[in-house]
Chain A
Amino acid sequence: MEFASLSLYNQAIILFAALALFMSFIMLAQARMMPLIFTFAWQGLLLTVVSVLVAITSGHPELHISAAITFCLKVVVIPWLLYRLSIKLNMQYDAEAMTHPTLLLLGGVALVIFSYHVSQSIVHLSGLATRNTIAVSMAIELLGMLLMIARKSAVAQVIGFMSMESGIFFAAVVSTYGMPLIVELGLAFDILVASILFGVFFFHLKDSFGSLNVGQFNRLSEANQAMPASDAAEPAPGERS
């Protein structure tokens, strides 16, 4: 399909969707906490813009509600929450040591190609104007997952989680013009509760481990389970207070 032959609205949709995907790559490469949070908010904003554009072009006014939900959660509430927590936990200047950033980005590229390959077989079914962006939404989801796997900081993992959620929400908007309203509201509620719980956990992690680096988690790995010698050394679980 010739890009120039599309209507201006559709060109804008594809442009903004591509920018949102680009934000995912920036998040993958961003080691500092604050810019990471801001990039996530920018991605939310871009996805909101796409939802509004889809709502206008498709004549589905209920998509404005999806856009509003995305805006409230992904641009305002979650970034604000993370921002406040970072300041409160005194880690606004923290940066994570990145291992193999190039490899990570190349992996991201591979995931995007994979998404295009997979969605090739299903895109032709859709008569929707936005079908070109189905692959983008899948790529945003998979890149969010990659972010969660590759990073050791709890904040980055939360951002990856929320970015996955954004990608799925976006997939619903562009492939079917949104899920039924009750499902969208339920989803928004779940995500809101999840973000609050994540905040609670940041404090617990900080209290117990002194930092939000979850890479040091090893107490429960199977390798440590198989060492009876440590029986005497470590206090029995029942006696921990």
Chain B
Amino acid sequence: MTLLEITLLIPLLGGLFLALVGHRPIAGWINIAVGVMTFGAALAMALEVLDHGPQLSPSRMFYIDAFNVYLVVLTAFVGLTTSIFSRPYMRHEVERGRVTSRRLRLYHAMYQCFLFSMLLALSTNNLGILWIGMELATLTTVLLVSLYRTPEAIEAAWKYFILCGVGIAQALFGTVLIYFAAETKLGAGRNDTLLWTVLHESAGGMDPAVITLAFVFLLVGYGTKVGLVPLHNWLPDAHSEGPTPMSAVLSGLLLNVALYALVRVKMLVDGSLHSNLAGNLMMGFGLLSFTVAGLFLHRQHDVKRMFSYSSIEHMGLITFGFGMGGPLATFGALLHMTVHSLTKSAIFITVGHACQLAGTQRITQIRGLIRTQPAIGWGLLLGTVAIAGFPPFGVFISEFLLLMATMKAWPWLTIPLLVGFGVAFAGLFRHMQKMVFGEPPPGQMPVEANMLPVVVHLLLVLWLGLAIPGFLSRWFEQATVLITGASPL
């Protein structure tokens, strides 16, 4: 059994185990333990890839190259840190009576199953399994969005289920079309036609008409899960109504995985079409999402909703970067995926504590965090500073790279980008200042909070802003070569 299969098996078995014991007080610790094991296995697997290069499992079911290895590690890492956060958070929710012990069991089991589905989607070599992993990720999270059983939560979960269901069905149709194109090229009767490695080798000979049609379906399908405007409606609802650990992993990880699927498909399409059609479509959707989400930031009255619009904005930017293609933009987009994921999950963790502190998610009622509990206040402030793209945090570097690439390839588009950055910055800080500083309402008491994940995430983002470690930049470079065919360095 390879290390990768172990990485996949641990969360699956952990999820099944937690389905039995997830309601006990110790379940929070078990959840963390499973997270530690998954992260350890993922790290060992990554070291192996670092030494020996891309790996194809003996059955050819799984494939790890420079593009997905760091995403697997990132997913396992954020899964671990969020589980550390979720233990005190969920205990608090149980004490307040918002979650019964049965639902707590459901929560713990589904948390690990969700991580499994994402790791499966990331590491599989089969486009069909990739789709199954994405659908499984929806199915495992939909009951978590409605965990609180309020009318709002149920409405959000239904919307999430239906919109993502419809979207992802389009992606399946696109997958069928790719299979159709590959089979006309490679001949029927082979059982490896849907393997990504096989498809990538033979992309050149696939029929452009079918591939174009397939890409449109796949873009709509996976784009729904990325949260691209105008298919983003489910995202703010699902993020704001579910428990906060869910918001952290949805925003930090699921969106990345969906974007990963989209970029994998784009690599095939580019190989077949020899034009920039896929890239241009992605640029258009990306820029639209970036702009619209930045404007919507200003209208929000719910703090989790606000940060979910910020996620849409950043996902739009990354999609734009991948769409632009070119080594510099792709390198920037890969880096941005990492730093956004780390920063945004740190923010959601802090926001979760802040909401428990204030007893509400309404921005107007969250006041004076820094005075009541300085750790939470500073965490939120620094997280927001980081996500808004201030130096020296990593988000600044990746946004700067993307801006440079835009200036080279599409000079005129730097204007909407710069305006968008400004609008988003203003949108975040007009609310932030009062929440962090302001006068705390009388009787506001500190809550039990574990800020370790936030500190670790923000330190990592800071590190990535100051110096990217050699192995990571090599992976980014190799991934860039894989995606664009040229090196950025």
| Chain A residues with a Cβ under 8 A of chain B | 118, 121-122, 125-127, 138, 141, 145, 148, 154, 157, 161, 164-165, 168, 171-172, 175-177, 179-180, 182-183, 186-187, 189-190, 193-194, 197-198, 200-201, 204-205, 207-209, 214, 217, 219-220, 222, 225-226, 228, 231, 236-241
Contacts and interface: CB of A to CB of B under 8 A. Distances in A.
Nearest to B209: A121
Contacts of B305: 225
Contact of B302 (A118, A177, A237): A237
B156 A225 contact: no
Given A141-B173, A148-B166, 15 more contacts: A138-B173, A157-B162, A161-B165, A172-B179, A179-B128, A182-B128, A204-B146, A204-B157, A205-B158, A208-B151, A222-B296, A228-B364, A236-B359, A238-B358, A240-B152
B24 interface: no
A219 B152 contact: yes
Given A222-B299, A231-B364, A145 B166 contact: yes
Contact of B213 (A118, A183, A189, A201): A118
Contacts of A226: 299, 301
Interface stretch (B129-137, B326-334, B384-392, B459-467): B129-137
B179 A165 contact: no
B176 interface: yes
A182 B188 contact: no
Contacts of A177: 188
Interface in B137-173: 139, 142-143, 146, 148-152, 154-159, 161-162, 165-166, 169, 172-173
Given A180-B194, A201-B158, A220-B159, A237 B362 contact: yes
A236 B155 CA distance: 17
B162 A183 contact: no
B126 A197 contact: no
A225 B301 contact: yes
Contact of B176 (A118, A171, A228): A171
Given A179-B179, A197-B143, A220 B129 contact: no
Nearest to B212: A121
Nearest to A120: B209
A186 B132 CA distance: 6
A55 to B, nearest CB: 14
Interface string B416-438: 00000000000000000000000
Contacts of A231: 301, 362, 364-365
Interface in B91-141: 97-98, 126, 128-129, 131-132, 135-136, 139
A67 B237 CA distance: 38
- Interface majority SS (helix, strand, loop, mixed), chain A: helix
A176 B155 contact: no
A239 B96 CA distance: 9
A121 B356 CA distance: 57
A179 B148 contact: no
A237 B361 contact: yes
A189 to B, nearest CB: 8
Interface in B377-433: none
A235 B360 CA distance: 9
A208 B154 contact: yes
B180 interface: yes
Interface in B345-365: 355-356, 358-362, 364-365
13 contacts: A122-B209, A126-B184, A168-B169, A171-B173, A186-B132, A187-B128, A190-B139, A197-B161, A219-B151, A220-B152, A231-B301, A238-B355, A240-B150
A239 B355 CA distance: 11
Contacts of A198: 161
B152 A201 contact: no
B65 interface: no
Identify the interface centre among B98, B301, B358: most chain A CB within 10 Å of its CB: B301
Contacts of A225: 299-302, 305
A175 B176 contact: yes
Nearest to B173: A168
Contacts of B156: 220
Given A172-B179, A236-B365, A148 B162 contact: yes
Contacts of B299: 222, 225-226
A42 to B, nearest CB: 21
B191 interface: yes
Contacts of B193: 180
B241 interface: yes
Contacts of B149: 204, 207-208
Contacts of B176: 168, 171-172, 175-176, 179
A117 to B, nearest CB: 11
A238 B194 contact: no
B199 to A, nearest CB: 13
Nearest to A227: B301
A183 B207 CA distance: 23
B128 A186 contact: yes
A176 B180 contact: yes
Contacts of B207: 122, 125
A150 B464 CA distance: 48
Nearest to B163: A148
Contacts of A239: 359-360
A85 to B, nearest CB: 15
Interface in B278-334: 296, 299-302, 305
B58 to A, nearest CB: 16
A47 to B, nearest CB: 15
Nearest to A228: B301
B157 A201 contact: yes
A190 B140 CA distance: 10
Identify the interface centre among A121, A193, A205, A225: most chain B CB within 10 Å of its CB: A225
